[in-house]
Amino acid sequence: GSSLFSEQGRMDSENKTKFLFNAIRSDLNDQKKKK
Q: What is the pLDDT of residues 1-35, one digit of tens each?
A: 677 778 888 999 999 999 999 999 999 999 988 87
Q: How many domains does the chain have?
A: 1
Long-range contacts (CB closer than 8 Å, 24 or more residues apart) made by 21-26: none
pLDDT at 1: 61
Which CA distances in Å does 12 have to 21, 24, 25, 33?
14, 18, 20, 32
pLDDT at 30: 92
pLDDT at 29: 93
Q: Domain residues for 34? A: 1-35
What's the predicted TM-score (pTM) here? 0.57
DSSP state of 11: H
Question: How far apart (Å, rounded) are the C-alpha atoms in residues 27 and 32?
Answer: 9
